[in-house]
Amino acid sequence: MAPAPTIIEDFELEVLELVEERSKRVRKRSSGGGGTVSALRQDHNRRHGSGGLRGKVMEGWAAKVGATAGAPLTKPPMTKTTENNIKPQRPSSIYTKLFGLFNVSTTSHQRETERRIMANNPEFNAQFNYAKNFIKTSKYTLLNFVPYNLFEQFQRLANFYFLCLLVLQLIPVISSLSPITTAVPLIGVLTVTAVKDAYDDYQRHRSDSQVNRRKSSVLRNGQLVEEYWSKVVVGDVIRMENDQFVAADVLLISTSEPNGLCYIETSELDGETNLKCKQCLPETEDLGQDDSLIGVFRGEIRCEPPNNQLNKFDGALHWEGNIHPLDNDKILLRGCILRNTQWCYGVVVFAGKDTKLMMNSGKTKFKRTSIDRLLNFIILGIVFFLLSMCLFCTVACGIWETLTGQYFRVYLPWDNLIPTDPAGGATVIALLVFFSYAIVLNTVVPISLYVSVEVIRLWQSFLINWDDAMCYIPSGTHAKARTTTLNEELGQIEYIFSDKTGTLTQNIMAFNKCTIAGRSFGEVIDPRTGDLLEINELSRTVDLSRNPYHEPSFKFYDHSLVDALDAGDRDCEAFFRLLALCHTVMPEEKNGKLEYQAQSPDEGALVSAARNFGFVFKSRTPNSITIFAKEVQETYELLCILDFNNVRKRMSVILKKDGRIRLYCKGADSIIYERLKSGQESLKHHTQEHLDSFAGEGLRTLCLAYKDLEEDYFQDWKSRHHEAAISLESREEKLDAIYEEVEKDLILLGATAIEDKLQDGVPQTIANLAMAGIKIWVLTGDKQETAINIGYSCQLLTDEMVNIFIIDAQSASEVEEQLQKFREDIRNVSATIHPQTNLSVVTFSVYSDDDAGRDNLSDAGEPNGGFALVINGHSLVFALNANYERLFLEVASHCKAVICCRVTPLQKAMVVDLVKRYKKAVTLAVGDGANDVSMIKTAHIGVGISGQEGLQAVLASDYSVAQFKFLERLLLVHGRWSYYRMCKFLRYFFYKNFAFTLCHFWFAFFVAFSAQTLFDPMFISVYNLFYTSMPVLALGIFEQDVNAKNSIKYPKLYTPGLKNALFNKREFFRSAVHGFVTSCVLFFIPFGAYYNGMDQEGRSMTDQQTFGSVVATILVIVVTMQICLDTSYWTFFNHVTIWGSLILYLLLQYFYNYVLGGDYVGALSKAMGEPMFYFTSLLTIVILMLPIMAWRFYWVDVAPNLSDKVRFKQRHDAKMASKRTEHDMHRTPSARRSRRSIRSGYAFAHQEGFGRLITSGKIMRPRNPKPGNVSNGRAASLRPDANKGPVAAPAPSTVEV
Amino acid sequence: MEKGEPRACRDVIKDNISETCTCQKNFTVYESFEKNVYLYYGLDNFYQNHRRYVKSRDDKQLLGKDDTAVSNDCSPFGTDGEGMVYAPCGAIANSMFNDTLKLFEIKLGGQAEELNLIKTGIAWPSDRKIKFNNPPGSLNSTGAFKNNVKPPYWTKNVYELDKQDPSNNGYKNEDLIVWMRSAAFPTFRKLYRKIDHNMTGFKFSFPKGQYYLEVEYNYPVDSFGGKKRMILSTTSFLGGKNNFLGIAYITVGSVDQLNINQNTPYSD
**Got the DSSP string for A460-515?**
HHHHHHH-GGG-BTTTTBPPEESSSS-GGGGGGEEEEEE--BTTTEEEEEEEEEEE
Which residues on A lie below 8 Å from B72 (Cβ)?
172
pLDDT tier, A1086 (very low <50, low <70, confident <90, very high otherwise): very high
pLDDT score for A1002: 94
A1095 contacts chain B (CB < 8 A): yes
Residue A77 has pLDDT above 60, yes or no: no
pLDDT tier, A1184 (very low <50, low <70, confident <90, very high otherwise): very high
The single residue of A329, A354, A499, A928 carrying the catalytic annotation is: A499
List the single range of A556-560, A720-724, B256-260 with lowest mean pLDDT: B256-260
In this complex, do A1171 and B178 lie within 8 Å of one another by their Cβ atoms? no
pLDDT tier, A91 (very low <50, low <70, confident <90, very high otherwise): very low
Please state the φ and ψ torsions of residue A1099, each to the nearest 5 degrees: -75, 145
Å between A1165 CA and nearest CA of chain B: 9
Cα–Cα distance for residue pair A495/A1121, rounded to 1 Å: 39
Provide the mean pLDDT of chain A: 78
User: Which carries the bigger pLDDT value, residue A1072 or residue A804?
Assistant: A1072
Residue A402 has pLDDT above 80, yes or no: yes
> Which of B51, B186, B242 has its CB closest to that of A1011?
B51
Å between B111 CA and nearest CA of chain A: 30
Alpha-helical runs (H) found in A957-1054? 966-968, 976-1004, 1017-1022, 1029-1038, 1044-1049
> Which of A1089, A1101, A1166 has its CB closest to that of B126?
A1166
pLDDT > 90 fraction of chain A, expressed in percent and rounded: 16
Residue A396 has pLDDT above 90, yes or no: yes
The CA dihedral of A1100, A1103, A1109, A1113, to the nearest 10 degrees, is: 60
In this complex, do A1099 and B126 lie within 8 Å of one another by their Cβ atoms? no
Residue B245 has pLDDT above 80, yes or no: no
* Segment of A58-72, A510-524, A638-652, A1121-1135 carrying the highest mean pLDDT: A1121-1135
List all residues of chain A from 429 to 458 with a beta carbon under 8 Å from chain B.
436
In this complex, do B126 and A1161 lie within 8 Å of one another by their Cβ atoms? yes
Residue A1290 has pLDDT above 70, yes or no: no
In this complex, do A1104 and B54 lie within 8 Å of one another by their Cβ atoms? yes
List all residues of chain A from 147 to 176 with a beta carbon under 8 Å from chain B.
172, 176
Which residues on B lie below 8 Å from A1179 (Cβ)?
245, 248-249, 252
Residue A813: CB atoms within 10 A of its CB come to: 14
In this complex, do A1007 and B127 lie within 8 Å of one another by their Cβ atoms? no
Which residues on A lie below 8 Å from B220 (Cβ)?
410
Residue A673's H or E segment, with its range, is: helix A669-674
Residue A16 has pLDDT above 50, yes or no: no
Which residues on B lie below 8 Å from A1091 (Cβ)?
185, 242, 244
Give per-residue pLDDT as tens, A316-369.
Answer: 888 888 888 888 888 888 888 888 788 899 999 898 888 887 776 655 667 778
Interchain CB contacts (distance < 8 Å): A and B: 169
pLDDT score for A268: 67
Chain B interface, mutation test: which of A393, A1100, A1179, most B Cβ atoms within 10 Å? Answer: A1100
A1189 contacts chain B (CB < 8 A): no
Cα–Cα distance for residue pair A174/A170, rounded to 1 Å: 8
Which residues on A lie below 8 Å from B59 (Cβ)?
1159
* Segment of A1185-1189, A1241-1245, B15-19, B71-75 carrying the highest mean pLDDT: A1185-1189
The answer to whether the CB of A80 falls within 8 A of the CB of A322 is: yes
In this complex, do B76 and A1108 lie within 8 Å of one another by their Cβ atoms? no
For residue A941, list its beta bridge partners: A924
Å between A434 CA and nearest CA of chain B: 14
pLDDT score for A38: 39
> Which of B45, B53, B240 has its CB closest to that of A1092?
B240
In this complex, do A404 and B225 lie within 8 Å of one another by their Cβ atoms? yes
pTM across the whole model: 0.76
A659: left (phi over 0), alpha (psi -120 to 50) or beta: left
Å between B107 CA and nearest CA of chain A: 27
Residue A580 has pLDDT above 70, yes or no: yes
pLDDT tier, A858 (very low <50, low <70, confident <90, very high otherwise): very low
pLDDT score for A392: 95
pLDDT tier, A1025 (very low <50, low <70, confident <90, very high otherwise): confident
Please state the φ and ψ torsions of residue A518, each to the nearest 5 degrees: 80, 5
A1160 contacts chain B (CB < 8 A): no
The answer to whether the CB of A600 falls within 8 A of the CB of A1250 is: no
pLDDT score for A976: 92
User: Which carries the bigger pLDDT value, residue A991 or residue A39?
Assistant: A991
Cα–Cα distance for residue pair A787/A870, rounded to 1 Å: 9
Which residues on A lie below 8 Å from B242 (Cβ)?
1088-1089, 1091-1093
Region B25-39 average pLDDT: 85
User: Which carries the bigger pLDDT value, residue A592 or residue A145?
Assistant: A145
Which residues on A lie below 8 Å from B124 (Cβ)?
1099, 1162, 1166
pLDDT tier, A213 (very low <50, low <70, confident <90, very high otherwise): confident
Active site residue A329: no
Q: How many CA atoms lie within 13 A of A936 on its CB side?
A: 28
Which residues on A lie below 8 Å from B17 (Cβ)?
none
In this complex, do A1100 and B220 lie within 8 Å of one another by their Cβ atoms? no
> Which of B95, B183, B244 has its CB closest to that of A411?
B95
List the single range of A574-583, A721-730, A779-788, A1267-1276 with lowest mean pLDDT: A1267-1276
Give per-residue pLDDT as tens, A1191-1245.
Answer: 888 888 888 888 888 888 888 887 776 554 444 444 434 333 333 344 444 444 3
pLDDT tier, A833 (very low <50, low <70, confident <90, very high otherwise): low
Pairing type for strands A632-642 and A624-629 reads: antiparallel
Which residues on A lie below 8 Å from B186 (Cβ)?
1006-1008
pLDDT score for A1251: 63
In this complex, do A1098 and B122 lie within 8 Å of one another by their Cβ atoms? yes
List all residues of chain B from 29 to 68 with a beta carbon under 8 Å from chain A.
36, 38, 40, 45-54, 56, 59
pLDDT tier, B234 (very low <50, low <70, confident <90, very high otherwise): confident
Region A948-960 average pLDDT: 76
pLDDT tier, A832 (very low <50, low <70, confident <90, very high otherwise): low
pLDDT score for A947: 66
Å between A1007 CA and nearest CA of chain B: 5
Region A491-511 average pLDDT: 86
Residue B149 has pLDDT above 50, yes or no: yes
Beta strands in A710-800 (DSSP E): 747-758, 775-779
Chain A interface, mutation test: which of B46, B55, B65, B126, most A Cβ atoms within 10 Å? Answer: B126
Residue A1004 has pLDDT above 90, yes or no: yes
pLDDT score for A31: 37
In this complex, do A176 and B51 lie within 8 Å of one another by their Cβ atoms? yes
Shortest CA distance from A397: residue in chain B: B50
Residue A1178 has pLDDT above 90, yes or no: yes
Region B34-63 average pLDDT: 89
List the single range of A469-473, A588-592, A744-748, A764-768 with lowest mean pLDDT: A588-592
Which residues on A lie below 8 Å from B58 (Cβ)?
none
Region A1004-1013 average pLDDT: 91
pLDDT score for A836: 41
pLDDT tier, A528 (very low <50, low <70, confident <90, very high otherwise): confident
Instruction: Tell which residue, B249, B237, B267, B256, has the closest CA to residue B34.
Output: B237
User: Which carries the bigger pLDDT value, residue A776 or residue A506?
Assistant: A776
pLDDT score for A43: 40
The answer to whether the CB of A769 falls within 8 A of the CB of A971 is: yes
Residue B137 has pLDDT above 90, yes or no: no
Cα–Cα distance for residue pair A1105/A1161, rounded to 1 Å: 9
**Residue B77: DSSP 8-state:** S
Cα–Cα distance for residue pair A329/A312, rounded to 1 Å: 9
List all residues of chain B from 221 to 250 with a beta carbon under 8 Å from chain A.
223-225, 233, 235-242, 244-245, 248-249
Residue A11's H or E segment, with its range, is: helix A8-22
Residue A383 has pLDDT above 80, yes or no: yes
List the single range of A227-241, A358-372, A555-569 with lowest mean pLDDT: A358-372
Q: Exposed, middle or buried, A689 (CB in 10 Å: 0-12/13-18/19+)? A: middle
Give the 3-state secondary structure of A306-361: CCCCCCCCCEEEEECCEEEEECHHHEECCCCEEECCCEEEEEEEECHHHCHHHHHC
> Which of A411, A1099, A1171 has its CB closest to that of B237?
A1171
B197 contacts chain A (CB < 8 A): no
Shortest CA distance from B248: residue in chain A: A1179
Å between A383 CA and nearest CA of chain B: 23
